[in-house]
Amino acid sequence: MTAKRILLVLVSLLIGALVALFLTFFERYERQLDRGWSAKAIRNPYLAAERFLDARGLETRRADNIAAVAGLSPQDTLYVASSSQVYNGERARELLDWIERGGNAVVVARRGTEGERDWLLEELGVTAETGSGDFFFTNPMRRFIGEEAEEYSGKSASELLREHNRKLREGENTDGETPEDSGADAAEPAAPEPPEDPDVDPSALVTLTSDSGHDYRLHFNPTTLLWHPTLDSEGASGDSDPAFWANMENETAGGDSDPVFWADMENETAGVPFIQFERGDGLLTLMADAGLWQSDRIGHFDHVFLLEQLASDGDFVFLTRPQFDSLPVLARRYAREFFGAGALALLAWLLLRSRRFGPRAAEPETARRSLLEHIAACGHYYWREDRCSALLARYRDSLLRRLGGDNASQKTRRRLCEQLNAATGLGETRITDSLWGQPPHSEEAFTERMRNLQQIEAVL
């Protein structure tokens, strides 16, 4: 066996041994990492609600204007994220007409500024009042460090986290145990994760009872509450039947302007967070909390049960405020198309500039010539076009008319030459050639003739 074959056998045995070791000691495990919300969930706060309804077999879609009511069927459900989107009386009337034909609408009442009209609430006789504002999610750090957040009220989030981390490093805990006290339990299994629902005072919850006898709890934001005159006459606390739609027909009697059901909170007297109206064959639900079904709160308590009960058999249409992506988000999303289009435009420009027909034209002169160069160029042009003789003849005829020498006799010409000779110093021969001689045939002779005529004109 050659050395080459021995080397190949040893390499094969080594590779086989490594594979056997890997298969012997390899252990597969899975770990779940929370990467935060996706870009789609950030753009659409109702994404979790849409996916829940899709899982229940209901079609969901989004709309941007209350005018979408014209295209809804009586079996659909319309969720309006703010009553201000019903921006005039005509739109409010269209919405109520659709409800009377059997539509199901869920509207979040908005508490506007003083003097601002809410057309839908005016039609229903409902006003949005200011509540207590004691909401669990008012302090955002409360979700992460629990009730300890109340100890640091007035501090910024960064200061609050630094203080909390310092206490953790020092070994402090909520039970007041020291690290030595808790060292004996260090080997014990970790405590189970806290429940999904936040620790809210039961008096701040709304409890509804379904027709099957089960109690369902809801946590509304008490910052804004709803008020109707019926609540004043009936009593907003303790007079409404807690049964959830089970005894709606036995609720307050009255016209379409009176609510048929409302849910009250024990610790709130300014109003209620939830009112329902029957309009014709349809149902209108008013809520004071716009975040009940948003993705960060729909999983708490029984919020999703309320959404399922309010949804009808048709499509569920979300009418929310349009949210536009920022410029950096759009740049990242369409960067490939942008640079691709730019590359194609550059290629087309290069192809256009690279094509030409015939020899390359000379670059035009950009510098301006002087006045003397301009006069010289004009003179050469007139000389080439044989216009100098006509120019000389016109100039000479005008001088002869002034001297009275046109068609003059020889005696008169001699007398004029003597007078001009005495005045200009030019010879009589040069004067005669300039005034009555033949046209010149060279540039130098033409220039001399014109100079002589200018001297004669100067003494006249």
Indicate if the alpha-carbon torsion angle 34, 37, 40, 46 is positive or negative: positive
Architecture of domain 43-136+199-319: 3-Layer(aba) Sandwich (3.40)
DSSP code, position 261: E
What is the sign of the dihedral through the CA atoms of 382, 386, 388 and 394?
negative
The pair phi, psi for residue 184, each rounded to 5°, is -70, -25
Tens of each residue's pLDDT in the chain, 460 residues: 688 888 888 999 999 999 999 888 888 888 888 777 887 888 888 999 999 999 999 999 988 888 888 889 999 999 998 888 888 889 899 999 999 999 999 999 988 777 788 888 888 888 888 877 666 665 555 555 555 555 555 555 566 566 666 766 666 544 444 444 444 444 444 444 545 677 777 878 888 877 777 788 888 888 888 888 888 765 444 344 444 443 343 343 444 568 888 888 877 778 888 899 998 889 999 998 888 899 888 888 889 888 988 898 899 999 987 666 778 888 888 999 999 999 999 999 988 887 766 677 777 777 777 888 888 888 777 777 777 777 777 877 888 777 777 677 777 878 888 888 788 878 878 878 777 777 777 777 888 878 888 887 787 7
Instruction: Output the DSSP codes for 329-397.
Output: HHHHHTHHHHHHHHHHHHHHHHHHHH---SSPPPPPP-SPPPHHHHHHHHHHHHHHTT-HHHHHHHHHH
The C-alpha atoms of residue 3 and residue 367 are separated, in whole angstroms, by 85
Q: Where are the domains of the chain?
A: 43-136+199-319, 371-459
- Strand ranges (DSSP E) for 269-348? 274-279, 282-287, 316-319
198 residue type, one letter: P
- Whether 139 and 153 have beta carbons less than 8 Å apart is answered as yes
Structure confidence at residue 171 (pLDDT): 62
- Go through the chain and tell me how many residues it has: 460
> CA distances (Å), 54 to each of 136, 208, 312, 343, in order?
30, 25, 13, 42
